Amino acid sequence: MANLDQLAINTIRGLSMDAVQAAKSGHPGTPMALAPLGWLLYSKLMRHDPREPRWVGRDRFVLSCGHASMLQYSLLHLSGYDLSLDDIKAFRQWGSKTPGHPEVFHTPGVETTTGPLGQGISNAVGMAMAGRHLARRFGEELFDHRVWVIVSDGDLMEGVASEAASLAGHLKLGRLVVFWDDNEITIDGRTSLTFTEDVVGRFASYGWHTASVADGNDLGALEEAARQALEDPRPSFIRVKTIIGYPAPHKQDTPAAHGAPLGEEEIAATKVAMGWPAEPFYVPSELEEARAAILRRGAQARRRWEEKRSAWAEANPEAAAGLAAALSGELPPGWEEGLARFEPDPKGMATRASSGKVLMQIAAAVPNLVGGSADLAGSNKTKISDDCFRPEGEGVPPRYVYWGVREHAMGAAMNGMALHGGVVPFGATFLVFADYMRPAIRMAALMGLPTRYVFTHDSIGLGEDGPTHQPIETLASLRAIPGLTVLRPADANETREAWIAAMKCRGPAALVLTRQNVPTFDRAGMGAATGLHRGAYVLTDRGGSEPQVLVIASGSEVAIALDAAEILAAKGVATRVVSMPCWELFAAQPQAYRDEVLPPAVGARVVVEAGVRQGWERWVGDGGFVTLERFGASAPYETLYEKLGITAARVVEEAERLLC
């Protein structure tokens, strides 16, 4: 087998060089250096079945340094996944299965979309957390799989990786094994330019088991380090010293091997040094034996796991039904029945408070809802359970996560939890700190993951904390992310419907909620709160059913719109108030419905929202804008609304200007 191992390693190196050269772009050096480690993982260490890449009991592999994608594509092809040599030849081309960075749900065997450095290792932490929840709920004998990760220097420079690693060490996520490709090269030069810390010492301080392998080509040392990691109850961090671009004679150990093709001459010289045929994309026929062994081993492992699951299910039929439901991703029948309905109240409550009441009820009905807050549980109203993730040993299934002040890691780990399956993840913080989570939210939208975000303190309405905490531009920036559903409910009953909509959403959804109290509307003679599910709806027509002016608002400003409509109606101006809690849902409605809510003939349209106007032009054209184009200030929220002009009087002024 040793000869086959070397053949496979050389094949990976050859395919990586050739594919990048054919594409005229890519990263050949890291796949070449990591070929021994990658082959060891796929051929011996990982529990996986290439014929069933979504098998629940499999180990997960995360290539956090996604630019080294040709490593993973080569391994998938040689292991027997549905990835042909023609797919590899189409590397980075339109419509191929081999995009520049790995993409989940696109290439069989890829577990997450990686590319932005630091996200992959942080996804892996979330995968390990989801695995722990399922193991505690349904049994360690079923959920004893590992999460294997390869990270680069760049991953470890990004702050999100530090946050996630700190949490993983605290929680003692012992089924997580991370290999660091220590090649000392980045695009700009040697890592000594910027990165001289004791990385192994850093991970030791986080509470990880650590080890080092002096030569990334030493399969025996790599395997021994991995075996020791599997025996340690802590997460494991293994430094692997490699030479980028090895064995290219002139470009190895240089930045030139990192982010560009090696060039025909260097490839030819490298193949000579390897004793390898010059033929591009050469795969020795002898590797069929290695592929068959991997397929045989994977099928046996899966069969044993399925037999174990069948025996467990027969002995635990109720738990088995719960597991099937959790893994299906479908919500339990009747989960939304009995959710709180709120009585009219002019004083009302903050939508964060009504959200908290509804969330507790959802958590009681959906046992695989798992998540928490970034050190703001009391403010976000998201403490769904006392059964939290802890570093201690056995216990009840953990459902609540004390993320700590780690918004970056929270967002990325939530993605990993969703990718793992079996849980519905949520995370909470102040809306202004969504900016810390933005890369992970973007990745959730790109992957179409069912992540749920609770963002409270949504505007200048939070008051005295001042402009550093008043997210006047954040709402617009979230609405700019394709595939993210942003819900900003106006009152308690819209908040209930917003949670229902979010839970049913196939992709990520964000609830944007107030700190300050808002009225709970008397719906008699008004549009029902269920109108939220269509994104926007007619809340009321005042002064006549044929409106002269449309006043459109979301969230806490809907109450201001209603006050303005009363004033305008008293002046003889027929006014329609439209609550628009969700642009994305409204945009998805038939044109006829959108025209019914916003009649094209009515050109006088005023928006009122305590945020920047950006994007509202889509719905109102050059209409009136009662919005903010400056940062806030520190003062009671009532003062801020008055001083910054987010008032019914300003809405009336804008409406009258448009009607002149």
Mean pLDDT, to the nearest integer, of 119-130?
Answer: 98
What is the SS3 assignment for 418?
A: helix
Do 2-300 and 533-659 come out as alike in CATH topology? Answer: yes
Any residues with CB less than 8 A from the CB of 617 and at least 6 apart, and which?
Answer: none
Q: Is 533-659 a domain of CATH 3.30.70.100?
A: no
What's the burial of 435, exposed, middle or buried (CB within 10 Å: 0-12/13-18/19+)? middle
Domain locations along the chain = 2-300, 345-520, 533-659
Q: Which of 111, 266, 407, 609 is catalytic?
A: 407
Query: In this model, does residue 513 exceed pLDDT 80?
Result: yes
Mean pLDDT, to the nearest integer, of 648-660?
Answer: 97
**For the segment 102-114, what is each residue's pLDDT rounded down to a tens digit?**
999 999 999 999 9
Paired tokens of 516? 């300050």
Q: For the chain, what is the largest distance between any 2 Cα atoms, rounded to a whole number of angstroms?
A: 90
What is the distance between the alpha carbons of residues 372 and 399, in angstroms, rounded to a whole number? 8
**If one looks up domain 2-300 in CATH, what number appears?**
3.40.50.970
Query: In this model, does residue 393 exceed pLDDT 90?
Result: no
Neighbours of 627 (CB within 10 A): 21
What's the burial of 287, exposed, middle or buried (CB within 10 Å: 0-12/13-18/19+)? middle
Mean pLDDT, to the nearest integer, of 515-528?
Answer: 97
Q: What is the pLDDT of residue 545?
A: 83
**For the segment 160-198, what is each residue's pLDDT rounded down to a tens digit?**
999 999 999 999 999 999 999 999 999 999 999 999 999
Mean pLDDT, to the nearest integer, of 118-128?
Answer: 98
Task: Name the CATH topology of 345-520.
Answer: Rossmann fold (3.40.50)
What is the distance between the alpha carbons of residues 131 and 145, in angstroms, rounded to a whole number? 8
Query: In this model, does residue 498 exceed pLDDT 70?
Result: yes
**For the segment 536-590, what is each residue's pLDDT rounded down to a tens digit?**
999 999 998 899 999 999 999 999 999 999 999 999 999 999 999 999 999 999 9
What is the distance between the alpha carbons of residues 342 and 12, in angstroms, rounded to a whole number? 62
Query: In this model, does residue 272 exceed pLDDT 60?
Result: yes
- Whether 145 and 57 have beta carbons less than 8 Å apart is answered as yes
Mean pLDDT, to the nearest integer, of 368-373?
Answer: 98
Query: In this model, does residue 2 exceed pLDDT 80?
Result: no
Position 259 confidence tier, pLDDT thresholds 50, 70, 90: very high
Query: In this model, does residue 1 exceed pLDDT 90?
Result: no
Any residues with CB less than 8 A from the CB of 218 and at least 6 apart, and which?
Answer: 36
- Whether 608 and 559 have beta carbons less than 8 Å apart is answered as no
Query: In this model, does residue 270 exceed pLDDT 60?
Result: yes
Share of the chain above pLDDT 70, in %: 99
Specify the pTM.
0.98
Position 395 confidence tier, pLDDT thresholds 50, 70, 90: confident
Query: In this model, does residue 84 exceed pLDDT 70?
Result: yes
**For the segment 605-640, what is each residue's pLDDT rounded down to a tens digit?**
999 999 999 999 999 999 999 999 999 999 999 999
Calculate the average pLDDT of the chain: 97
- Is 407 known to be catalytic? yes
**For the segment 40-72, what is each residue's pLDDT rounded down to a tens digit?**
999 999 999 999 999 999 999 999 999 999 999
Position 79 confidence tier, pLDDT thresholds 50, 70, 90: very high
Paired tokens of 2? 């040793």
What is the distance between the alpha carbons of residues 95 and 100, in angstroms, rounded to a whole number? 12
What is the distance between the alpha carbons of residues 648 and 562, in angstroms, rounded to a whole number? 8
